[in-house]
Chain A
Amino acid sequence: MWLFLLRRCGLAVLIVMLAVSALYLMIHAIPGDPASIILGPRATDEMKAALYIKMGLDQPVYMQLASFFGNIFQGDLGYDVFSQRDVTDIVLEQLPWTLALIFASVFWAALVGIPLGCYSALHANTWFDTLTGIVSVGTIAIPSFVVAIYSLLVFSVSLQWLPAIGAGEQGNLLSQLEHLILPAFAVGLGWVGYISRLVRASMLEVMGSNHIRTAKAFGLPSRWITFRYALRLAILPTVTLLGVGIGYLLSASLFAEIVFARPGIGKLIFDAVSTRNYPVVMGSVLVTTGLFVIATTLADFVNALLDPRIRAGR
């Protein structure tokens, strides 16, 4: 288990470094001059040159990358000359909003999706199963920004039950929860469908396996078989999906952040790329890539914990 853990962590660091480097090279490859964008039409050449030096852009790209990674090991994500603030502060300000949105979305999607999939599998080919199948595929197919806009029109504009914009008052958990409902609904709705379909398929497969048949033959109660033996195995692909899905959720959260005018890391990256704000792009992408890698690694661990065969490398 320790070797497995070590190997996965090493791989995770390598992936993060490669991803950030690749993105940095790509941003440099596309046209755009941060000095012109930041300073605007009234900047002189001298002002632009000074900004370039301040941002370290007068150095070759490989030197910029080397100094970026060098600074990371000292816990420094760099300095944003645009807002005159540390990138670490900027990223840490925005990250919790996105994390809250992602966790809330996944949480309610799993809460609804897992029992739904499980129930559908146990009642396969009934009208309920057919109906959940249609609804699930339907929710997967609807883009989250469409759900976001319609939920806003219904719950904010027509009914005026829920706030349309923002993330809630600082230090007021109730207000923040209130502001989280619609975005989490919009981002998570498609995942209800994904999860329920996946759990249903896995459950059907597991329920047909030998050990479940044996358990049934021994006369164990069906609830015991379902929750103790079948669901434990059937949930493994869902755990993996949720881990890998962090990447998707980050991009879906960008839409939610724009539509609901919420703060968050997705909007931060979007704005930073548009203005070629390299330090913020690098810092925030490093953190989000790290998050993605941590989530997939965690999913691997959870799978390994749930299934001894994975631990044994079989």
Chain B
Amino acid sequence: MAINTIQKGLRLSRRTLLMAGTVIGLNMMVPFSMAAGSDEVLQSRSYVDITSLDPANYLNAVDEDVMGAIYSKLIYFKPGNTWEWELQAAESIEQVDATHIKFKLKEGIQFSNGFGEMTAEDVKFSFERAAFGENPAAAADWGGALEEVEVTGKYTGVIVLKKPYQPLWNLALSYAAGNIISQKAYESVGEFTNSPPASSGPYIVKEWRPKQKVILERNPDYYGEPSAYKEIHINQIDDEKTAEIAFESGNLDVTRISMSSVQSYRETPPDNSQLQVFPSLFYVWLGINFENPKLQDPRVRQAIQYAVDVPSILQASYFGEAEASTGIIAPGLLGHRAQSLIAPQADIAKAKALLEEAGVSNLELSLDVLNKATNVTTAQIIQALLSQIGIKVNINQHEAGSFWTLGSEKAGERWKNIELILNRYSMVPDPYYATVNFITSQKGKWNWERFSNEEFDQLNEQAQAELDLAKRGEMYQRMQDLMEESGSYRFITHEAEPLAIRNSVAAGLRPDGRPLYRHFKPAN
């Protein structure tokens, strides 16, 4: 009776109802319709949602992952194991002197939606908008160095700098703020966030589903070879374990996995897939407050440095899959140190002797950490290690919102309470991006150890302007020496970027494992 009423209401015959039921039932039995492994659609994953696809307003690395596929830059990172860039929209680019860079655009680069050819005017518009805009990320990529972009012809121009600024090559030109947008298209919409009015890359944004996914599709107006995939779906999954399940169930083609799963993926990778582990650009360190009354004696700080056994942390927190770091600049980058001044292994006898020399006993310290499993484990190892030299450590766990303002003088008085802090920052492949956080003027902002060294500050300025790469590299090495000598830093690791990749996919990746989506293609 009830079913008859439903049928009548929906105007379905009994046969149709049965057929519908069968279709639904059968549909449940077949694997996920948007399953990965297709030559047409690439299913990828991002850990956060995009914030803005306007290069002058981008905020996170995922924004750049997408922008790298939909726009063109003068130069862009090459996929592979070494940090190199290649020409993209530029036919040629040349540093004429310390403050002038000449470029010539390739002819015939088209913006989608009929916004015409890319010209030097678009380059000027895009770069000046990013460099002089209000967005800290884009403006800081240009480091306050841009004077103007001089247009000398339809396709030619000169980037004029106020001061020599070498991070420009790895940061401003080849990263997010270096994406070139169409001036005409921008002016036609006024402003935009996640629906770019025009693209010049191999993909365009088909759809953005907030908190779900970004769908890129082949750009029919692309000037180069058509993109390998018809669509790329970048699914937003913040939890790594969920991403692993999605990968194992065939819903993803490529994803970062958790460090704890690396061993099992290495031994028994899911069907038709492989594990690739890349050195990441993150840097993790134990910060020791330079100004805290309990830690002002350098011997106490050094005792802590010597007591922390980095291999133990790598084993317990990173499952033996990450390497010890020698500083804040990762291997493969300019300025990386081959060795740290203090060996990664602990020297408990020396640590005890230093404490004794300083006349310190019964020291009790707090250690602030973000409430993530890896960080908490690391903190517990440090707690145990420091107890061996008689230092009692109390661990304070903080959620993200609270943790990321701990050292900020603008956010109250909590910066005064910092004694030990376990920290992790990310960077792009220019050493300046890392060292700039530790200059004196960053005290109370992002320099939470309140480290201050005149030579460090001077080197940070000089290295930005140094054209000789070898010299520049030495400067950054010296800066890391100074950080370590201050006793305020125990460098731990650069972590690792483990990726699970379907065998059917030839992934185009940066040396740190970040996706260059325009270079992804089917493996066969």
What residues of chain A have their CB less than 8 Å away from a CB belonging to chain B? 30-33, 35-45, 47-48, 50, 82-85, 90, 93-94, 149, 152-153, 156-157, 160-167, 169-170, 174-175, 177-178, 181, 258-261, 263-264, 267-268, 273-276
B213 neighbours in A (Cβ, 8 Å)? 166
Top 5 nearest A-B pairs (CB, nearest first) are A156-B249, A32-B401, A42-B140, A43-B136, A163-B32
A56 CA to B113 CA, complexed, in Å: 38
What would 5 A/B residue contacts be, using CB atoms closer than 8 Å? Answer: A39-B137, A84-B193, A85-B193, A170-B207, A275-B400
Contact between chains at B251 and A90 (CB < 8 Å) = no
Contact indicator B212/A152 (Cβ below 8 Å): no
Indicate the member of B33, B193, B239, B243 with the most A CB atoms within 10 Å.
B33
B408 pairs with A36, CB closer than 8 A: yes
Q: How far is the CB of A256 from chain B (nearest CB, A)?
A: 11
Contact A42 B136 (CB under 8 A): yes
A116 to B409, CA, bound (A): 60
- Asked if B210 and A161 make an inter-chain contact with CB atoms under 8 angstroms apart, the answer reads no
Contact A37 B211 (CB under 8 A): no
Count B interface residues, CB 8 Å: 54
Is B410 a contact partner of A45 (Cβ separation < 8 A)? yes
Which of A42, A156, A160, A275 has the most CB atoms of chain B within a 10 A radius of its CB?
A42
Partner of A84, one of B27, B52, B136, B412: B52
Q: Given A153-B245, A163-B251, A175-B33, are A261 and B404 also a contact pair (CB < 8 Å)?
A: no
Q: Do A261 and B401 have beta carbons less than 8 Å apart? A: no
At the interface, yes or no: B414 with Cβ under 8 Å from chain A?
yes
Q: Which of A37, A39, A263 contacts B401 (CB 8 A)?
A: A37
Q: How far is the CB of B422 from chain A (nearest CB, A)?
A: 17
**Contact residues in A for B3 (Cβ distance below 8 Å):** none
Question: A90, A93, A263, A268 — which one has the most chain B CB atoms within 10 A of its CB?
Answer: A263
> Across the interface, do A32 and B411 meet the contact criterion of CB distance under 8 Å?
yes
When the two chains form the complex, which single residue of A45, A93, A165, A263 contacts B251, counting CB atoms closer than 8 Å?
A165
Judging by beta carbons under 8 Å apart, are B245 and A152 in contact?
yes
CB distance from B373 to the nearest CB of A (A): 15
A160-B32, A165-B251, A274-B401 are contacts. A259–B242 as well, Cβ < 8 Å? yes
**Is B405 a contact of A261 with CB atoms below 8 Å?**
no
Q: Are B425 and A41 in contact (CB under 8 A)?
A: yes
B residues within 8 A CB of A38?
59
In the complex, B437 has a CB within 8 A of chain A: yes
Establish whether residues B210 and A93, one from each chain, have CB atoms under 8 Å apart when the complex forms: yes
Kindly list 20 other residue pairs between chains A and B, CB separation below 8 angstroms, not including A37-B404, A152-B249: A31-B405, A32-B411, A36-B411, A37-B400, A37-B405, A42-B140, A50-B134, A83-B51, A83-B193, A149-B241, A156-B249, A163-B32, A163-B249, A165-B235, A165-B237, A167-B212, A170-B209, A174-B24, A258-B238, A263-B212
**Which residues of B (286-316) have their CB < 8 Å from a CB of A?**
none
Known: A47-B136, A157-B245, A162-B32. A31 touches B402 (CB 8 A): yes
B198 CB → nearest A CB, Å: 19
Which of chain B's residues 209-230 have a Cβ closer than 8 Å to chain A? 209-213
Residues of B within 8 A of A275 (CB): 400-401
Residues A42 and B137 in contact, CB atoms below 8 Å apart: yes
**Which residues, 244 to 286 on B, are CB-close (under 8 Å) to A?**
245-246, 248-252
Min CB distance B245 to A, Å, is 5
Q: Determine the residue in chain B with the shortest Cβ distance to A27.
A: B401
Decide yes or no whether B357 CB sits under 8 A from chain A: no
Q: Determine the chain B residues whose CB is within 8 A of the CB of A42 once the complex forms.
A: 136-137, 139-140
Contact A32 B239 (CB under 8 A): no
Interchain CB contact under 8 A, B31 and A32: no
A-side contacts of B174, CB under 8 Å: none
B136 touches A174 (CB 8 A): no
| In the complex, chain A residues whose CB is within 8 Å of the CB of B235 | 165-166, 261
> Which residues on the A side are within 8 Å of B237 (C-beta)?
165, 261
Q: Is the CB of A33 within 8 A of B137?
A: no
